[in-house]
Structure 1
Amino acid sequence: MFRISPARRSSTRLASGVGLLVAAVILSGCAAIATAADATDTDCPAAAEPLASLTLVDDPRAATGPSTACLASHAIEAVAADGAPQLPVTVTDAEGRDVEITDVSRILPVDISGTIAATVFGLGLGDAVVGRDSSTSFDGTEDLPVVTKSGHTLNAEAILELAPTVMLTDTSIGPKEVRQQLRDAGIAVVVVSSERRADTVSDLVSEIAGALGVPERGDALADRLDADVEAAVAEVGAVAPVAASDRARMLFLYVRGSANVYYIFGRDSGADSLIEAVGGVDVAGEIGWEGMKPMTAEALVAAQPDVLVMMTDGLASVGGVDGLLERIPALQQTPAGANRRVVDMADAEILSFGPRTADVIRALARAVYAPASAPAATPTEEPAS
């Protein structure tokens, strides 16, 4: 059963953890993951419609053809910004460093998924953000300067030019030598947890809110997000099959065709929590697949997925479903391959697990249970490597 974590980490002690998106940096070897909007042309006419109001498939395990999940909105709703940040504040970050933050007038939030920036905006501090990573593309960030090279490498010179008073980041982006260079330049650098899961969204909110001196806003945002995720899971639960044997068997496949990268994300990768939230069965975990490991034909055949879940740019990088089946012949021995059943979602959205988590759950659920409402994206070009 999908459960929201009842315990939040202390707002002054930032938890550590090696998250899913750390691996994404190591594995991708490609351009920014936020290029999904450029790589596809997608129509989402029913993105804002309640799931139960759509035309649902009779059997999610037997649905055929690809579909694309997309969000109803690209805006971040901020909590009420009552009172100024309570500064100075000292936190122990995810790398065990004690960091004192005295000024949050110029905030630089950067990671590989845009999650930290979305959280800062959700805390009502978006006006103080001075730059962004290339994955941050939600409304209101279009004119912010990008400080990452090749999509996921920190550019020290670009950061120093912005003169941030505090930088929030995690180990999904680096190199760590640049973080130290920024510390040496007098910037307060706070490394937050890299763990990203659908059921621990409020933990990251509490970490970031504590570091920025707005713990009360953090509590308000965390409460709202927990309620939103619980409501989204309940909405999915109302249409998903009750019996586990009738639920869609789903597998998260991470690919970058131009780099010849093919990985399965399994138990404790974060993808498992997303699959569980949309009422599916994480078949990678079922076969004992831990974390993120290179795909094997044997694992695919053993898992027998009904649905492949992928990033949009990853699917485009192999030439869409046709190219995927050509490059991975073992997929033909699975229901997902035989039915061409692939659900994709924009790279910068699908595993971000921030303020938009509930929307991501609903979007994926529409693509799984009401595929006619989520027509497949049309790849226009292969992402550059």
Structure 2
Amino acid sequence: MKKILLSALCFALAFASQAQQRIVSLNGAISEMLCALGLEKQIVGVDITSNFPEVLKSKPKLGHNRNISAEAVLALQPDIILTTQDQLNAQLKDQLQSAGIKTVVLQQEYSIEGTKKLLNDVAAAVGASAKAKELSQQYDNQVAALNIKPVNKKLLFIYARGAGSMMVSGTGTSLDKIIQLAGAKNAVNEFKDYKPYSSEALVAENPDVILLFTSGLQSVGGIEGMLKIPGIAQTTAGKKKQVISMDGEMLSGFGLRLPQAIRELNKQIAAFN
């Protein structure tokens, strides 16, 4: 009986400790996972990419990972800060740790298994591993249900913030990985990460389909606006108006909606002749 009571007490204390956590998340996929783990009420601040589920839109926004200040984060009095290695600069990390705030920097691999590992790492950091087992099984079931057939299309992803500010994805990015998972090919293989848009290079690559975030396509005036950008109309994608736009965080975040993103992108590509 004493052992049972002691176990119950330990569980209650652990639950109470978890419930009192004030969490700051500086990554959209992590924020999504925290909500799926039932911890949305403990989230006191998020970065600008944290916009799903809907409850995150009411959370204090700390800005983009490149311009988040330690003062803004510390003002929220967090007990723990969660982020990924590529979204926290060394200076900010040092400032937060110097202030005595537990800062957990996780590795994020852009793959199906990488998303599952990130979920388990997030859960371990906040003491919610039991709930993560259930979510992992749901995620595995969604992945198993995918029936992705290869599509013989070259996709070019353009990150746009208006016609005057556009970047093209090379290899190694989350967009490069999602294009491959959706059964297509990245039209660019000559460089890694992102480079400024070039009309000459675009025409040379001649993508079958152009992929953008929904906000990016809106920023250039929709498909008709895209066709006015030098080089676009000369490509197969431009001539056939084969342009796809999807929610940015779902498409590139590699969160728990990854199976949905893969299925939707594959479906939209396959719809083109």
More helix by share: 2
* Offset, 1:171: 4.3
Structure 1 match to 2:56: 141
Assess, with a 3 A threshold, how the Cα gap between structure 1 residues 290 and 177 changes in structure 2: closer, same or farther. closer
CA contact under 8 A between 1:199 and 1:273: conserved in structure 2? no
Structure 1 match to 2:6: none
**Is the partner of 1:350 in helix, strand or coil?**
helix
Q: Does 1:204 find its partner at 2:118?
A: yes
Q: How many residues align?
A: 260
CA distance in 2, matches of 1:368, 1:217: 35
CA contact under 8 A between 2:187 and 2:205: conserved in structure 1? yes
Q: Does 1:178 find its partner at 2:92?
A: yes
* Offset, 1:313: 1.8
CA distance in 2, matches of 1:291, 1:155: 25
So what's the TM-score if we normalise by structure 1? 0.59
Structure 2 match to 1:63: none
**Is the partner of 1:253 in helix, strand or coil?**
strand
CA contact under 8 A between 2:49 and 2:249: conserved in structure 1? yes
CA distance in 1, matches of 2:61, 2:162: 26
Deviation per residue, 1:43-68 (Å, 9 max, x gap): xxxxxxxxxxxxxxxxxxxxxxxxxx
**Is the partner of 2:46 in helix, strand or coil?**
coil
Q: Which has the higher contact order (CA 8 A, sep 6+)?
A: 1
Q: Does 1:158 find its partner at 2:69?
A: no
Assess, with a 3 A threshold, how the Cα gap between structure 1 residues 172 and 332 changes in structure 2: closer, same or farther. same
Structure 1 match to 2:181: 277
Assess, with a 3 A threshold, how the Cα gap between structure 1 residues 363 and 183 changes in structure 2: closer, same or farther. same
* Offset, 1:223: 3.7
Residue 364 of structure 1, aligned match among 243, 265, 268: 265
- Return 5+ residue gaps in structure 2 as ranges: 1-10
**Is the partner of 1:142 in helix, strand or coil?**
helix
So what's the TM-score if we normalise by structure 2? 0.81
CA distance in 2, matches of 1:213, 1:86: 8
Among all aligned residue pairs of Structure 1 and Structure 2, give the percentage whose two residues are the same amino acid. 30
Assess, with a 3 A threshold, how the Cα gap between structure 1 residues 86 and 303 changes in structure 2: closer, same or farther. farther
Detail structure 1 runs of 4+ shifted over 4 Å in the superposition.
83-87, 101-104
Residue 251 of structure 1, aligned match among 149, 156, 160: 156
Structure 2 match to 1:123: 37
Structure 1 match to 2:203: 301
Q: Highest Rg: 1 or 2?
A: 2
**RMSD value over aligned CA atoms?**
2.9
Counterpart amino acid of residue 222 in structure 1: S
Counterpart amino acid of residue 67 in structure 2: T
CA contact under 8 A between 1:85 and 1:214: conserved in structure 2? no
